[in-house]
Every structure is written in structure tokens, then in C-alpha cells.
Structure 1
Amino acid sequence: MPARTAARPGGRPRGRWARSGIVQAPERLRSLVRRSEGGLVALATLVGCVAGVAVSGMTWATQAMREVIYRIPAGMRLSAADAVAPTLLLIGPCLGGVLLGLLIVVVNYLRGPRKRPPIDPIEANALHGGRMSLRDSLYLALQNVISNGSGASVGLEAGYTQIASGLASRVGIAFEVRRGDLRTLVGCGAAGAIAAGFGAPLAGAFYAFELIIGTYSIGTLAPVVVAALCGNLVSRALIDTPPLVDLGDVQAVTTSHVTSMEILPSLALGLVCALLGILIMRGVTLIERLVLASGVPRAAAPVFGGLCVGALALIATPQVLSGGHGALHMHFAVEGQGHGTAALAGLFAAKAVASAISIGSGFRGGLFFASLFLGAVAGKLFAALAPELVPALAGFGLTPLAYAVIGMSALAVAIIGGPLTMTFLALEVTGSLPITGVVLAAVIASSLTVRKTFGYSFATWRFHLRGESIRSPHDVGWIRSLTVGRLMRRDPSTVAVDTPMPTFLRAHPLGSPSRVIVVDGRGRYAGIVNVPEVHAAAQEAAAGAQPVLADLLHHADAFLTPEMNVRDAAAAFDRTESEALAVVENRESRRVLGLLTESHTLKRYSEELDRQRRAMAGESD
């Protein structure tokens, strides 16, 4: 047995993985994966297949729930059903809230209330080097199945990516892959999940590049694309999943050859969708704050939220229920273009409110599919209203279906992010390069507007609300782990502030360490003295009164603390114009722990930056 898992005296296994119950791969396989790029691709293939199986299972489970709760025919999408009993429309989401509340109570009883939410793939790659809890991922996926299956207005994509990335992370940990490779595997899990869930391998791959890994590189191309293809193929083999939308003949999208002039209304629609996306994200936050202020217990909030969503479905339309896949199909059907402007506006408002209530009240799920549906409705509204407001737009060659495709992508990029992801999604949906060109213009306008006016996607906005500064999946965890406490020298010279000058000069002659930390009578940090400066001052005052250490102190109020990261330390050196600073326990006690120099800080920082650059470029260590 390898030494890492050999038993200790007393029967306890060695190694942190063995102690935590994580099953390891055989040593030869671990070595092969770490040494070979082909080994990583093989793991990505496994991850993609597992993602396809997980997505198929979740899809089947949610559809079965909807068929049982709402008594709809087998295979029918809930948001496209028009013969559901009014009583079921009202109580269906409420029943889901009851089930979700019971699950929360049971889990809290067994495990205790969580101190922090589960780590999602973006946070895992940004802060934890790709490490995710499989148990938390399974719990979140189950919550997502209950929420979507009961009709709450949320999509399954959050559960898809959570479970697939959690499984990928566990596989990577079992093979002890490097930090960069583990982050890539987490992206592979998300790529396989999105490709399987939406039937769009290109969109799945670029979802991983833009939203989970944070960058595209040659080293990540092969594993991510392979995982996306495998996820899509396995899902199609296991379950009969209709395409995202069915446009039939592409000529139904355009009335003529698309020219560069169609970019102008596309840009306008992109700007409109950016503003709508910001309003929706703000709306979710508002609902969450209202629920929190109401004092309703966390386990009971989904019940009331489900009742509100059911009431919306009863009063407005069942299209507000679940993710909206069936309703999206209806709106992309040629015969489904006859909705009036008022009906489209009412549907958009009802769906947006239902999604905000669902997520704000505690249902688990994402806004990816909801944003696609809302964007399609917004695009058709734009097609109806824009020519009346600007008559010149009536002469362009874009049909309401084309505007629906553009709006679908533009609103999704405003809320979720990933301009290339949404562009490739439009390409895979339509198969039309001309339409994809105007979609690209719209998503760029939408993405740029949101980034400059709001600054967050839906995921990073929620990180911000809980006090986290993550704005992307770029790996910043290494910065946070490279702390002052790890970098500092722990044996600095210290001296009492009332030490007589002759005593100090004898203890610290020229040639000894040039900086000495001074403490007061209670052992608290008082400042730093430079040994050469003290000797020079003593020689200049040889004929007169000797100086005291208190007169030669520097940086009495400038110091570092152990939890500060390397970037904060570098900023402190720059601000104080010092070459070295003392490290104290905290601002209150001011107990000296060590000394850190600017040169060592910058050296370690540059080494880590170079390592990250090599990892991003796919270079081996």
C-alpha cells in the first residue's frame, strides 16, 4: 500500500485524503494523469460522460415530478400546458415549497445550520483551486430538482453545473491533479452539463471558458471541448431531449439577406436588454431583502413564495412556471408569433416577477433559461414597438423571430455573462452565420453596458451581496493564501524603547541586522529603528547629550497583520515608502510577531504571477 494511505499506529490511515474519506486512484494512474496531457483529456472524457448522466437523471426526475403534480401528459412541458386544473396551478409550487422546507429542516437537524452557502464552480475556481464539496453539490442539486419539478420559476442549469462540477472536482482530487488541472476539470464538468442540458456543445465549452475557468488557453481547449461533446452525446443517448428551440426553416428568421445595417437595431436591443437584466437582478435582491425583513423562517419562505408563483400562473399564464422551455418553443413557432403587445408585456412582467419571487424566497435554481425566455419575449416586444417609435426600423430585414433570437442572447448575457457563450448558442440554435453576426453585436453592447453601469453578473452580484469581492472565476485564491503570516520572518530583533543608547550600540554594532523593532514597556509595538542611523546619530551627538531611541523611531503607526495577503502588503509598502514593516498580532494588542521586507514580498508575488502565467498558457512547471 502506498505510504500516503498506510495505516498509522492505532489503525488511523495516513494522508489528508484518507482521513477525509476520499477514495484515491491507484498511484500509477495518478502519476500518468499528472505527467501526461492525454491523461487529463481522458479524465475530461470521464467527467463529460458523468455530466451527461447526471443531467439526464435530473431532467427525467423533474419531468416526472411535473407530470405527477400537475397531471400533464407524458413528455409535455409544464410552461406549454394549457389544460392544467386551476387548483393544481395554485398549489403546485406551494407543494414544492413544503417539500423544500422539509428538506432544509431535516438537513439542518442532521448536519446543523450551515455557516456559509455551498461553494459553486465559480467560487471554487476563484478561491479554492477547484475544490468543491460533493455532498453540498448533491444537496443543492436535489433542491434544484424539487424547485424546478414543482413549477417554481427557476432553471435547472444551476443544479446541472453544480453536480457535474462537484463530481469533476472529486475525480480530480482522487487523482491528486495540480491546482490548474483541477480548475480545468471543474470547467469540464460545467461544459459537459451545459452541453447536455441545452444540446449545444459549443455553448457548453465557451460557458466553461468564460464563466468557470475565466480564460481560454491551448492547454484547456482539448479537455473542455471533449467534455462538452461527451456530455452532449451521452445525454442524447439516454433521454429524448428536444432542441433548445425549433426554428424550422431559417428563412422564417429573416425576410432578406442580413446586411450591416441590421446591426443598428441589434445594438439598440442589446442596450434595452442590458437595462432589463439589471432590473431583474435588482428585483431578486429586493425580494430577498423583503423576505428577510418579514421574519419568515428560512424553511417556511419557499411555501409562501410558491403560493405567490402559483397565483401568478393562475392569474396570468402557466408560462411563468418552471424554466419556461415549453413556452420558449411556443414563442419560436411560426404560428406563435401572433401575441399582442400588451400580452407580451404582461408575460414578460409576470415571468420576471415569478423568477424573482422564486429565487428570493429560497427556491434553488438559476436564471439562465429564464433569461433566455425573457429575452425572446423582449425581442418580440422590441420588434412590435420599435417600428412605431422609429419608423425607419420597419425597413430592416429582421423578423420578430430574429429579434427574439437576438433578445434571447442579449438578455442572457446581461444576467449570466459570457458573450461568446451566448453567441455560439445562437449559432447552434439557428445555424445562420448572418444572424450570429448581429447577435454578436447585441451581446457586446449588452455585456459592455452591464459591466460599466452595474459591474456584476447574477452570480458575482450574489457574491457581492454576501461581502465577497469575486468578480470572475480567475484564480485569486493563491493571492489570499499567500499571506503576510506565511511570508514574514518570525525571529526579528526587538528592543525596549527605554534601552540606554550605549547598551543598544553594543548589542547592535554596524554590520548586524539593519532594522530593529522597538517595543514599549508592555511589549507593544512602538516603531522601527535603523541601526546605521542610530550609530550616526550617536556619533554626531558625541560632544553633547546622547539621543534616545524614542526620537529615532520610524513607522510607529504603520504595520502589517498576519491575515493580510501579499497584494495588501505590497500596497502598504508603497503607501508608507518603507522597505520593511513589522507584523503585529492585531491593532489592539500590537504584539510583535515578525518582520516582512518589501523585496521578499515582491519576489514571492512575482514568482506566483509567473507560475499563474505559465499555467494559463498551458506550460508545464
Structure 2
Amino acid sequence: MISRFDILTLIPLRIRGLVRRHEVGFIGLAGLAGGIAGLSVAALLGTTNFLHRWLFGHPHLSSLTALDSPFLAFIPLMGGLLLGISGIYVRKWMPRRPVDPIEANALQGGRMSIKDSLVIAAQTVVSNGFGASVGLEAAYTQMGSGLASWLGTAFRLRRGDMRTLVACGSAGAIAAAFGAPLTGAFYGFELILGTYTPFGLAPVGAAAVCGVLVSKAFGASGEFMNQMTLKSALSPTDMGFLLVLGIICALFGIRMMRAVTSVERFCAGIALPSPLQPMFGGLLVGLLALVTPHVLASGHGALFELFGPGSGPSDVVLITLLLKALASVISLGTGFRGGLFFASLYLGGMIGLVFFYAVQYFDPSLAPDMTVCTLIGMSALAVAIIGAPMAMSFLALETTGDFPLGLVMLAVASVVSIIVRRTFGYSFATWRLHVRGESIRSAQDVGWMRDLTAGRLMRTDVPKASLDMPLAAFIKAFPAQSANQWVVLTGPSGGYAGLLFVPDVHLAGANGSANTTGLGQLARSTNIFLQPEMNIKLAVQYFEQNENEALAVVDNEKDRHVVGLLTEAHVLRRYTDELDKAHRELSGESWVGGN
């Protein structure tokens, strides 16, 4: 007879087993993660709109033509002060740097902290709500992925499944923000998962659809833009001009990403304390807002005006473009929290509009459709900065419903992606990680490589012999048929002096040189060794370069005290096993047969 307590204990185990062993159960969990992400998007957007109404008297700041009062220009400064002061306590409360979804999936197997995600989301809402020129998408994806990671931890998912679920959380969040499920799904694939997988298609797609449905049910923005119809078909000449526009956007995006780091270095160079940097940035953004409020927040409201009849003359659009770019760079470089996703769409739209005006000035008959230029500019700059060509191509397709334009956008996105990858090598998110000292360029899982270190793989029962040990004594201590074929040679101070291959020593003894040959003459890899913190990939490189079958592991380069021994066969076997495991996870083979 099972008691009521036993039943309540078994239910979570059964549900967990369903999710872990059956693909359908995991897809259901992915849909739940996407729905929660959509709910968080609605909550974050509602909170930010409330701040905009309360502080500025208008829910869409960037659509204003002028501030109602010059004193409103000080609101970004107040937001910077609030962010800087709270940051002091946040750093004491959370001394460890928060991890974003890309870093979590690349290095930590999808493990994220809910506390970190809440803090990042709150800081992003304060930054955007007080008018800093940043977008909310960083908060959306952080909360969506953080909550998905929490779900995955509760269900004790495997590493590969956890990474997929984190991608589902981000996909649901972006799909909810733009009302575009395909865009959200491919955002999850390209940026958060780092690759396309047959197994991931169903859960990530389900999460994106659920995110859109839930956000609409709770009154979020829903559709990114009303679907528009293009006035004419694209000619080969138009396609050529649009590719040129893509190249311009690629170069502009690279310049913006570098400029953010330049602002950070400038603030560090003038010895401005970290808590005061956002206040300084807020003051500058406020001064720019006196010229045009279009520089405030993410630019959501102003973006729609680009497609209307009142988009403004070319000189006004150009000035707004430069001021908005400057405001975004200053906001991020001085410590405001947020992203460049929506800002890049607005900036790219203005670049497309300026490009249209420039071509029309020289020859009106050659100018592509103005709406097309704006859309291509939006997507091209977003590809350059965000780094998701397929997601941006689908955004253009879902916005217009025009399949030929989607194909052109795919071609432009490919060109932009190649230019940025070959000349710069990073998206904005991975560039920020690079500046902090990380070497990752995408969310592809390299965390297992860092976890598999020489210290974890080595054997610690290492046979040792001193450098002054006679050859005959060594032969007696280590027989030719000994299980230990490798012996570490140590110097007078106990430091590493080389590796001895036992058959080599016995061969020297058999040749009658026992009295003339020292162990030091037979030692291999006298100055080549591993250290415990070296990862498995680096260890493989050492074996290839040294062309030896074993290497000693020492505690540090100075003392060189031997702590272990690692063989090439063992390293390659573990490396191959892990690569095979990663391949099975990507192809979905782990689900075959309900495993």
C-alpha cells in the first residue's frame, strides 16, 4: 500500500524520467520554458513602459520630437546615479561576474544563476527606463535563459539537453519580443546553441511559438511591425546596390563595437570611479536628447517613423543616425546595462534611408525602393552587431511576407557575416567576452574541454628515479616487463629533469654501456611538460608538437615538482569519446530508443 507521502514523492521522479528519457517530454518542457520566457518579456516590457510614462510622460520616448521640458534631460543622469550606487552593493553581494546565455552554454553546460539573471534584468530595465540608449533584449534573453536553466536543473537534465533548453528560453524571449517565431528560433540556434541540430528543431521551435502566444495573451507588443507590402519587384541593379548597403552596414557595425571598448578605456584613462561612470554617460545622453529625443531608449518608437511619410529629410536622418550611434556607444561604454539588438535595427534602418537618399541624389532612376533599403539596412547592421544572419533574414521575411526580399536579405546577410568574421571575428556579445579575457567566439560547447584538465586526467602514482641513480640500479629497480614503462627523472632539488622510457634504458644496458651512460643522457622531454590547469585540447597540442607518448605534469613552471603523468593514448581516447558524445547530442542519437 503506497501512502500519500510516497505518491507525492514519486510524481516528480516520474515526470523527470519522462523528460529525461522521452523526446516528447523534453519538447513539452521546452514549450513551458518558452511560455515562461514570453511571460517574463511581458513583465519586463510593462515595467519599462511604466517607467517611461512616470519619468517622461510618454511610453515611447524615441518617438518624441522634443522633450516636454529641458529638465527631463537630467533623467538619464539620475538613472546612471541609481545604477552606479546600486552597483556598489551588487558587487559586494555578488562578487562573481554574472554569466550570460552565450557564455553559460559555451563554458558551463547551460548552468545559469537565477539571482544573476534577476540582477541583470533589473539593471537593464533601469537603464532603458531612465532613457539610456540601450535595448531590453539583453534582459529578455537573460531572464528567458535563466529560467530555462532553472527548469533544467530541477529536472536534472544532461549537459546537452540543458544547453538546448537554455537556447529554448532565449528563443521564446526573442520570439515574444518581436512577435516572430522563426526569428526567435534561429536566434536561439545561431547565438545561444551555436549550431543547427535536427534534434533541437522541435523543442526550440515549440519554445518560440509558445513565447509568442503567451506574450500576446498578456498584452505584450506582439507583432514587431505591421506586415507591409513592397511597391515593386527587385531588379538586378537593386540587388547590387543592396549588397553595397550591406558592406557599409558591416563596416559601421565593426566601428560601433570597437567604439564601445574605446569609451571604456577613456573612462579608465581619466580615472573616473566605476560608480560615477554611468552618471557621466547619462549626462551626455541627456544632452544629446536635447537635440533629438530619438537617441533615448532603444529606438522602438522612432523606428516605425522611418517607414512613414514623415521620416524627415536626409540631413536630419544623418544627424539622428550619428547622435543615436554616439548615445548607444556612450551608454554601453559608461556602464549602462543593455544590448544593441533593437538599437542596431533602428540605426541600420537610418543607414538604409541615408543610402536611399544618396543614390536618389545622383540618379533617381537607379534608387531601390526606400522601404527595401530601410529593411535591408536594419537587418544588415543587426547581422554585423548581433551575429545571426538566418535570424535577421527571417525577421525581414516575417515583417514583409515577401519571399524574394527574404532571399536578397539572406545574400546580404551572408556577405555581412563573412566581412565581419574575416575582418573582426566577433559579434558584440562575444567581443565583450573577448575584452574580459575569454577566448570563445560562439556558444559552441567548449566547457567540457576546460573541465577535462591535465590535473583530472593524469595518473598520480608516478614512478620516479633520481638523476644520479646508476644505470645498473635503475635496470634492477625497473624490469623490462614492468607495468610502468615511463619513469620520471628528478634532479637534486626534486624538480623535473625528464622522462625515461624503460626499454631505452634496458637497451643501453644490453649494449654494455652501463658504466659510461648516465640516466640524463637517455632522458626525453627534459624541458617539455604539462601543468594541472591545462585543458585537454592544449594537452593534445603538446603531444603533437613533442612527438612523445607521455608527458609529466608538474605543479608550476618554476619549481617543477612532478604531480602526475599523462599518456597520449589516454588523452586521445578521452578526447575522442567526448567528441563522439557531443556528436550524438547534436544529432539526437541520445534519444533513440528512449535512452
Q: What residue number does 2:512 align with?
A: 541
Match 1:236 to one of 216, 228, 237: 216
Q: Which secondary structure state, in structure 2, belongs to the residue aligned with residue 470 of structure 1?
A: coil
Measured on the aligned residues, the alpha-carbon RMSD in Å equals 1.8
Match 2:550 to one of 569, 572, 580: 580
Matched, 1:327 2:312: no
After TM superposition, give the deviation of residue 401 of structure 1 in Å: 1.2
Matched, 1:371 2:344: yes
Q: Which secondary structure state, in structure 1, belongs to the residue aligned with residue 30 of structure 2?
A: helix
Match 1:408 to one of 350, 372, 378: 378
Q: Tell me if structure 2 keeps the 8 A contact 1:247–1:332.
A: no
Amino acid at match of 1:324: G
Q: Which secondary structure state, in structure 1, belongs to the residue aligned with residue 589 of structure 2?
A: coil
Q: What residue number does 1:298 align with?
A: 274
C-alpha distance in 1, partners of 2:463/2:519? 15
C-alpha distance in 1, partners of 2:10/2:88? 33
Q: What residue number does 1:309 align with?
A: 285
Q: What residue number does 2:171 align with?
A: 191
**How far does the alpha carbon of each residue in 1:440-486 deviate from its partner, in whole angstroms, 9 at most, with x for none?**
12111111111111111000101111110010000000111111111
Tell me: CA distance 1:511–1:147, structure 2 relative to 1, closer, same or farther (3 Å).
same
Matched, 1:336 2:313: no
Unaligned regions of 5+ residues in structure 2, if any?
1-8
Residues 41-56 of structure 1 mapped to structure 2, 5 A cutoff: 41-56=27-42
After TM superposition, give the deviation of residue 247 of structure 1 in Å: 5.7
Q: Which secondary structure state, in structure 2, belongs to the residue aligned with residue 439 of structure 1?
A: helix
Amino acid at match of 1:36: H
Tell me: CA distance 1:467–1:105, structure 2 relative to 1, closer, same or farther (3 Å).
closer
C-alpha distance in 2, partners of 1:414/1:69? 33
Matched, 1:92 2:71: no
After TM superposition, give the deviation of residue 400 of structure 1 in Å: 1.1
Match 2:156 to one of 176, 179, 193: 176
After TM superposition, give the deviation of residue 24 of structure 1 in Å: 12
Q: Tell me if structure 1 keeps the 8 A contact 2:46–2:220.
A: no
Residues 559-598 of structure 1 mapped to structure 2, 5 A cutoff: 559-598=529-568
C-alpha distance in 2, partners of 1:506/1:234? 76
Residues 476-491 of structure 1 mapped to structure 2, 5 A cutoff: 476-491=446-461
Q: What residue number does 1:279 align with?
A: 255
**How far does the alpha carbon of each residue in 1:55-78 deviate from its partner, in whole angstroms, 9 at most, with x for none?**
001000000001011122xxx411
Q: Which secondary structure state, in structure 1, belongs to the residue aligned with residue 556 of structure 2?
A: coil
Amino acid at match of 2:173: A
Residues 100-499 of structure 1 mapped to structure 2, 5 A cutoff: 100-109=83-92, 111=93, 114-115=95-96, 117-241=97-221, 243-246=223-226, 248=228, 250=229, 253-254=230-231, 256-314=232-290, 316-333=291-308, 335-337=309-311, 339-388=312-361, 391=363, 394-396=364-366, 398-499=368-469
Match 1:62 to one of 27, 40, 48: 48
Amino acid at match of 2:584: R
**How far does the alpha carbon of each residue in 1:420-449 deviate from its partner, in whole angstroms, 9 at most, with x for none?**
000000111111112212211211111111
C-alpha distance in 2, partners of 1:370/1:62? 16
Unaligned regions of 5+ residues in structure 1, if any?
1-22
Amino acid at match of 1:497: L
Q: Which secondary structure state, in structure 1, belongs to the residue aligned with residue 288 of structure 2?
A: helix
C-alpha distance in 2, partners of 1:130/1:232? 23
Q: What residue number does 2:496 align with?
A: 525
C-alpha distance in 2, partners of 1:108/1:267? 45
C-alpha distance in 1, partners of 2:430/2:313? 36
Between stretches 379-388 and 156-165, larger displacement belongs to 379-388
C-alpha distance in 2, partners of 1:343/1:132? 44
Q: Which secondary structure state, in structure 1, belongs to the residue aligned with residue 565 of structure 2?
A: strand
Between stretches 431-440 and 257-266, larger displacement belongs to 257-266
Q: Tell me if structure 2 keeps the 8 A contact 1:492–1:517.
A: yes
After TM superposition, give the deviation of residue 568 of structure 1 in Å: 0.6
C-alpha distance in 2, partners of 1:340/1:487? 66
Q: What residue number does 1:31 align with?
A: 17
Q: Which secondary structure state, in structure 2, belongs to the residue aligned with residue 401 of structure 1?
A: helix
**How far does the alpha carbon of each residue in 1:251-292 deviate from its partner, in whole angstroms, 9 at most, with x for none?**
xx33x2223443211111110000000111111111111112
Amino acid at match of 1:378: I
TM-score, with structure 2 as normaliser:
0.95
Q: What residue number does 2:3 align with?
A: none
C-alpha distance in 2, partners of 1:150/1:433? 39
**How far does the alpha carbon of each residue in 1:498-541 deviate from its partner, in whole angstroms, 9 at most, with x for none?**
11222111111211122211101221110111222112212223
Match 2:585 to one of 586, 597, 615: 615
Amino acid at match of 2:512: A
Between stretches 473-482 and 80-89, larger displacement belongs to 80-89
Q: Which secondary structure state, in structure 2, belongs to the residue aligned with residue 475 of structure 1?
A: coil
Between stretches 119-128 and 477-486, larger displacement belongs to 477-486
C-alpha distance in 1, partners of 2:438/2:33? 29
After TM superposition, give the deviation of residue 545 of structure 1 in Å: 4.0
C-alpha distance in 2, partners of 1:242/1:217? 28
Q: Which secondary structure state, in structure 2, belongs to the residue aligned with residue 581 of structure 1?
A: strand
C-alpha distance in 1, partners of 2:185/2:430? 20
**How far does the alpha carbon of each residue in 1:571-597 deviate from its partner, in whole angstroms, 9 at most, with x for none?**
101111111111111111111111111
After TM superposition, give the deviation of residue 349 of structure 1 in Å: 0.5
C-alpha distance in 1, partners of 2:188/2:510? 66
Q: Tell me if structure 1 keeps the 8 A contact 2:62–2:294.
A: yes
Q: Tell me if structure 2 keeps the 8 A contact 1:494–1:517.
A: yes
Q: What residue number does 1:603 align with?
A: 573
Between stretches 322-331 and 41-50, larger displacement belongs to 41-50
After TM superposition, give the deviation of residue 212 of structure 1 in Å: 0.4
C-alpha distance in 2, partners of 1:131/1:517? 39
Q: What residue number does 1:516 align with?
A: 487
Q: Which secondary structure state, in structure 2, belongs to the residue aligned with residue 596 of structure 1?
A: strand
Q: Tell me if structure 2 keeps the 8 A contact 1:89–1:313.
A: no
After TM superposition, give the deviation of residue 25 of structure 1 in Å: 8.4
After TM superposition, give the deviation of residue 399 of structure 1 in Å: 1.2
C-alpha distance in 1, partners of 2:509/2:404? 81
After TM superposition, give the deviation of residue 171 of structure 1 in Å: 0.6
C-alpha distance in 1, partners of 2:399/2:466? 74
Q: Tell me if structure 2 keeps the 8 A contact 1:148–1:154.
A: yes
Amino acid at match of 2:258: R
Q: Tell me if structure 2 keeps the 8 A contact 1:244–1:325.
A: no
Q: How many equivalent residue pairs?
A: 583
